[in-house]
Every structure is written in structure tokens, then in C-alpha cells.
Amino acid sequence: MIRLVLADIRRQFAMWLWTVLCATVGGACAAGVVIAMLAGMSATRVAGDAAMTQASIALGGNIVFFTVLAATAVVASTVGLTLTTQRREHALWIILGIPRHHVRRVLIIELLVLGMVAGLLALPLALVVGRVALMQWTETGLDLHGAHVGFQLWYVGVALAAGIAPCLLGGWGAARRASKTGEMRAFRETTELMARPGIGRSVLAACLFAGVLGMWIPGLGSELSGPEQRTAFAFAGNLFLVCLLLLMGPWTITPLMKLWTAMVPVGDVAWRLAIQSCRARAARSVTTVLPFALALSMVSIFMVIGNVMPDDSTGLGDVLVVLGWVFVVSWVGGLAVIALVGRERRRDAALIGIAGAPPAVIARSTMYEGLIYATTAVLFGVLTLLVSCWTVALAARMSVSSVLGGLPWPMLTALAVMTLIMTSAALIWPTITTSQANLAQQLRA
């Protein structure tokens, strides 16, 4: 079994390489901020500064929550897509006589191996992240009494946990589906059917929904008297809502993408090819959109709460302190997903080329596909922004227009434009090289 695991990893090395990169960056950022928070707490406690201890817990806890959430979501979705993309290879194992429970066991062992590798690679990067985080927190005015991040043995455990846990969370359901899906069905299907939510996803979704109601009811009602308490509860409810919507991505992001693309009256053949590609490869579409949607929605709710708090101005520096590592994880994860399915996308482009489509149509189709992904992420962020403005304004007893008017629209627009440009550029480059290569060779690869 171990030989099969190693042989499969070697054969799929180009694909797993991008997954390990995503898991390494996610694990480094998650472990780094955890190490920084614990180091700051330890230094302030030794110095006997209770006020700074509480401040480091408050700031560090928020940063840890945002970063760990982003790392887990991005890495887990990337790992799940990696296994889903290999469904035909796994079906071939079953045809060759490997028992189904052995297939699942092999995939779980692969996830453990890759998670351990990502965790070990993330360890030195986590030390760098921890030191940079402490420097950022000190520049905000926290006196951490000389807290520093050296090396301690327990850092290894934190890094391994940050590498292994998201891999298992993202790949467990995909491994189960790979061992249960009929082998002939895996070869026949040309589109990815929407899977039913598993028990674990359903239970977590129910908990998040309960969290949304549990935060919104007191925050938007009259149970709490202070505006700061009400807006804090509304902010927490918005966080739970974003987590819920992204957890149920196939049932939220996919309908959003289908809805707005159906409303665009474009008759270009390349546009129609891009739409069909996004719909047929549903898992690929959701996983590509998720990192960018997560980053944009986090920025939205953070800017809204910063806008209504008294004597508080949230600028670019504050965003980088709290959400800087979220951006690193999300952007690396989004670009890694694009590179991860590069072989599959090149084969699709080669098939369209053999069917008679000129290279210009293929290039435009891929560019449109990137625009569809980025626009879906931007629209998700806009909807999150509107919901956050409404709930926070209601909690703060303000008008929605006043909350919207105080937002830093140039910065939000710049983030949306960057998402559009980067996603389209990352997608179109492999297609340009494919159009110059032998199409039959691409299909045989």
C-alpha cells in the first residue's frame, strides 16, 4: 500500500506540488499568527502587564480567527479539488481489482503524507510570519515587552497540525466519494454533478446558521443597550454568515454564477464556451472563486464595522495588520488552484481546437472564464457588503446610506480590479502556450 501511495504521488507530482504549495503557505500563516499571539501573551504575563495581555489576546485572537479560517477554507477546498480531478484514475484502480476500502485508505494516507510535508515546510516560514506579525502589532501601539519568536519544540506540533488538519478536512469527503462512485460512471460523466452535502457539512452548516441567528437577534433587537455591543454582535453574525455561505459554496456560489451570466446578453461563441466550461466544471469553478470571494467578503465586513465604530478610522494599514495574512493565503490559494487544473484546462482547450475553434476563440474563452470567476467573487463580496451594511446600520441605529457613504470606495474598487486582472492573466497564459503546441499531444497527456 505504501508503494502505491508513493507511486501515485510521483505520478501526480505536478498536481500535488501546487496543493502542497497552497497547504504550506496556509499552514505557515495559520501557525505563525498562533505562535505570535502565544509569544506576545507569554511576554506580557512575565512582565506583569495585565492590560497588554488582554490587548494582545484581543488583537491576536481576531487575527488568528481570520487567518485560520481563511487557511482552512482555502487549503481544504484545494485538496478536495485535487482528489476530484483524479476521479478517473481512482476508478481505474477499482477496475484493476483494488478493493474500494483500500482506495479510500490509500487516499487518506496520501493526505497525511502531504499534510506532514506541508507542515514541515511551513515551520521555517511560520517563524518568519510570527516575527513579522509581532512587529506589526508593536507598530500599532502594543507594548509586548520584547516578545520575540525563536524556536521551541512545540512549534513543530503547531505547524504539523496546521498542515495536516486542512488536508484531512478537505480530502476526507472526496476520498469517500472516490471509493463509492461507480467506476463506469466516473468514466462516462463529462460534467461534475453536484454532490449532496455530507453529514459533517450539514451539521457544521446548522451550527453556523444557529450562530448567525444567535448573534443577529440580540444585535439587531433591543436586548442590548450599547451601540458598541450591538454592532459587535452584528459583526459576529456577519462572520458566521460568510462562513456558512462559503461552506455551502456549491449551493451558493454556483447559483450566483449561473444567475448573473444568464443575464449578460453576449452572443460571442467564446463567451458561450466560457459559460459552459464554468458550469460543466462546477467543482473547479467553486474552488477557484472561493479564495477571492473569501478575501473580498472579509474586507467588506471589516471595513463596515470599522466605519461605524466611534472614533475609529480603518485604513489600509489596519486592513494589512488584521487581514494581511488572509490576503496571502487567499491569493496564493487562488493562483495555485488555477495552476492545479492547468492540465485539465489545456486538454479542454485542445479538444475545442481539434473541433475547429481558432486559437483566438480559445484565448478569448479562457479570458472570459477568468472574468466570470473574478466577477462572481466580486459580486459575492458586494452582496456581503450590502448585508453587512444593513445589519450593522440597524444595530448602530444609523441609516444604511450613511454607512455606505463612509466606506473607502477607492480601496474596495482597487481590490476588485486587481482580482479581475490577476485571475484573467493567470488563466490566459497557459492557453496561449497551448495554442502554439501540438493539440493531439495535449489530448494524450
In whole angstroms, give the CA distance from residue 335 to residue 213.
34
**Mean per-residue pLDDT for 164-181?**
83
* Of 80-84, 143-147, 187-191, 286-290, highest mean pLDDT: 286-290
The residue ranking higher by pLDDT, 10 or 242, is: 242
Instruction: Kindly report the pTM of this predicted structure.
Output: 0.85
Instruction: Say if CB 23 and CB 118 are below 8 A apart.
Output: yes
Q: How far does Cα 15 stand from its chain's mean position?
A: 18
- The pLDDT confidence band at residue 311, using thresholds 50, 70 and 90, is low
Tell me the pLDDT band of 363, cut-offs 50, 70 and 90.
confident
pLDDT in tens, 218-247: 878 766 667 778 888 888 889 889 989 988
**CA separation for the pair 29, 43 (Å, rounded):** 21
Mean pLDDT of the chain: 82
| pLDDT band at residue 35 under the 50/70/90 scheme | very high
Identify the residue with better confidence: 119 or 202.
119
Instruction: Give the rounded percent of residues in the chain with a pLDDT score beyond 70.
Output: 88
Residue where the block lists cell 496520501: 110
Q: What is the pLDDT of residue 185?
A: 60
Which is more confidently placed, 320 or 443?
A: 320
pLDDT given for residue 26 in this prediction? 93
Query: Is the Cα torsion angle 304, 305, 310, 312 positive or negative in sign?
Result: negative
> Looking at residues 412-428, what average pLDDT do you find?
86
Q: Residue 189's pLDDT is what? A: 52
Calculate mean pLDDT across residues 369-387. Answer: 93
379 pLDDT above the threshold of 60: yes
Contacts of 142 (CB under 8 A, 6+ apart): 40, 52, 55, 56, 59
pLDDT at 264 over 80: yes
CB 278 within 8 A of CB 261: yes
Mean per-residue pLDDT, 10-32: 87
To the nearest 10 degrees (0 to 180), the angle between helices 154-180 and 13-46 is 140
Using DSSP's 3-state secondary structure scheme, residue 305 falls into helix
Give me the phi and psi of 113, to 5 degrees please.
-65, -45
Q: What is the predicted pLDDT for the residue at 274?
A: 86
pLDDT of 440 strictly over 80: no
Percent pLDDT > 90 in the chain is 20
Instruction: Say yes or no to pLDDT of 312 above 60.
Output: no
Instruction: Say what the pLDDT of residue 443 is.
Output: 53
Label residue 279 exposed, middle or buried (CB < 10 Å: 0-12, 13-18, 19+).
middle
Give 362 or 257, the one with higher predicted confidence: 257
pLDDT score recorded for residue 370: 87
Q: How many CB atoms lie within 10 A of CB 6?
A: 13
Contact 125, 92 (CB under 8 A): no
Confidence of residue 125 (pLDDT cuts 50, 70, 90): very high
pLDDT for 36-75, tens place per residue?
998 888 888 888 878 888 888 888 888 888 888 888 888 9
